[in-house]
Structure 1
């Protein structure tokens, strides 16, 4: 059995609690009758057997499996056998304690309480405490397992969403480079280098969980630069970044789908592209806005919106209750307004 740090800590807590219980019982006996009976000492040493027998065996194997009858029967038998063994083996030592002169009836009552009532109450109390402890421990154990299972499921779903997003991004970008190559543009080599930088980021940074917000913004800038290379009229494409974001971190690829969507639909019939991107960072809050003209690009019914739906799902998983997303379609412009608390 491997003892981890957490197991050692739990063991120490249990030992400390048993010492406290024992000291309390010894103190009460000493105050009431001036001495501690040997039988009582033996019970203090063996009462943990009742506690752990109930919490580690009876509760998990009978009570939690809804075998109520077996649990009750086993509990009664355990208590009877336990007390019988204690009295049979160690009970004779208690008579030495009773040989002391009894001065009053109150002394006799105290002794009988110590001999009969107190041990029974303590043994039953430890047994019941073991049952409560077993139920509570099992509840937290199952709750923790459920949280781990839900987290693993979410991670699998996010990985699936990202595998959808990467090909979608790659197809769009390759399509952009295709235009440059077809038109024999001198910008084609630069576009290939920029694409390699984008792919390197996606392959080596995305799988690490949160990434530097600075790297994510650099990724966005590279993507915009690549898109500008294929556009004939890119003077109306603007990006503004304000605030200190050097030490903040964000889950990757959360913003790029909105920008992809803007480039996909933000070009008019005469080839003019109108896109305005505003990224503002204040303290640990990110305010991301994208505004693009609604062009006349024919909508692909089968593939349109894959990235948008994915990003909304990821936001809900990764920043639940810590983000606000609003999209509007007004006066021929599509607006995205996203606020994220970068926790």
Structure 2
């Protein structure tokens, strides 16, 4: 990717974030005006006699409907801003840090967090997704020292969201990432969609790219197991960053 292309992507991203921020501030301002109006009407209500209460309730219907709609819009605006912020971090990692030969485990872990958050946007709030990070942050030297080839976590995480069944009653995605004593471990599992190519016996499971990179950079210091059992795809990756 050229520097010019990278700059264009960043500028477009900044423009989108600025637009969403402006929309959020505008809606927030309107929401506050509605709150002031609602407070004024409540004070008026307390001074009314009982004969006018019914008419007042009817008059309140439309403002309350508008307020509830604005609350919904504000919620979506915040979610969009949050997702764009995570996307900006992912782009920054891919465009700049991943160009380095090695990155710190902390940088790769934060990339994995952001990638998961971006993919979670397309899921129903009721969807069963389990995400756990178990990071030894006390050993800051191992955590912050560049020792990991970048983008080692992307293949397994993206496959989970690409091939998962999102509609079945027992559908789920489970992601657990741990880093302790120089050992990075990523465990991913999900129920597979019936339309997923992972169901085809001759198609293989996942990409060969990850396996090739592991063999190239971590010979004898990695383990990758991927299998399908009872329509559940599982992947278990271990990388020991330092030779014994």
Question: Shorter-normalised TM-score: what interval?
Answer: 0.5 to 0.7
Q: SS of 2:225's equivalent?
A: strand
Task: Tell me how far apart the structure 2 counterparts of residues 243 and 298 of structure 1 sit (CA, whole Å).
Answer: 32
Question: Counterpart in 1 of 2:228?
Answer: 329
Within 5 Å, which residues of 2 pair with 1:249-328?
A: 249-270=147-168, 274-299=172-197, 308-328=207-227
Counterpart in 1 of 2:97? 205
Equivalent residues in 2 for 1:20-31, closer than 5 Å:
none
| TM superposition shift of 1:309 | 1.8
> In the alignment, is the contact (CA less than 8 A) between 2:165 and 2:192 conserved in 1?
yes
Q: Could you say if the C-alpha distance between residues 325 and 233 of structure 1 is closer, same or farther in structure 2, counting changes exceeding 3 Å? A: same
**Residues 149-173 of structure 1, C-alpha deviations (whole Å, 9 max, x = no match):** xxxxxxxxxxxxx9xxxxxxx9xxx
- CA distance, structure 2, for counterparts of residue 190 and residue 278 of structure 1: 22
Higher helix share: 1
Which of these two proteins has the greater Rg computed from alpha carbons?
1
Give, in whole Å, the separation in 1 of the partners of 2:85 and 2:238.
Answer: 32
Deviations 1:106-144 (A, max 9, x none): xxxxxxxxxxxxxxxxxxxxxxxxxxxxxxxxxxxxxxx
CA-to-partner distance for each residue in 1:201-226, whole Å, 9 max, x for gaps? 11110111111111111111111111
What secondary structure does 1:241 align onto?
Answer: strand
Counterpart Cα distance in 2 of 1:223 and 1:272: 24
For the 8 Å contact 1:265–1:296, the answer to whether it is kept is no
What is the CA–CA distance in structure 1 between the aligned matches of 2:87 and 2:208, rounded to whole Å? 24
Cα distance in 1 for partners of 2:204, 2:111 equals 21
In the TM superposition, residue 281 of structure 1 has moved relative to its aligned partner by 2.4
RMSD value, Cα:
3.5
Q: Which residue of 2 aligns with 1:223?
A: 115
2:124 pairs with 1:236: no
Q: Partners in 2 of 1:230 and 1:323 — Cα distance?
A: 32
Give the distance between the partners of 2:216 and 2:235, measured in 1 at CA.
Answer: 19
User: Is residue 275–residue 293 contact of structure 1 (8 Å, CA) maintained in 2?
Assistant: yes
Task: Report the Cα distance in structure 2 between the residues aligned to 1:218 and 1:224, rounded to whole angstroms.
Answer: 10
Deviation per CA, 1:34-80: give whole Å up to 9, x if none: xxxxxxxxxxxxxxxxxxxxxxxxxxxxxxxxxxxxxxxxxxxxxxx
| Cα drift, residue 195 of structure 1 | 1.1
Give the distance between the partners of 2:122 and 2:176, measured in 1 at CA.
22
Q: Which runs of 4+ in 1 moved over 6 A?
A: 304-307
2 CA distance for matches of 1:196 and 1:214? Answer: 17
Deviations along 1:240-291, whole A, 9 cap, x unmatched? 1224154333111011110100011112335975111122223122222111
Residue ranges of structure 2 left out of the alignment (5+ in a row): 2-8, 10-72
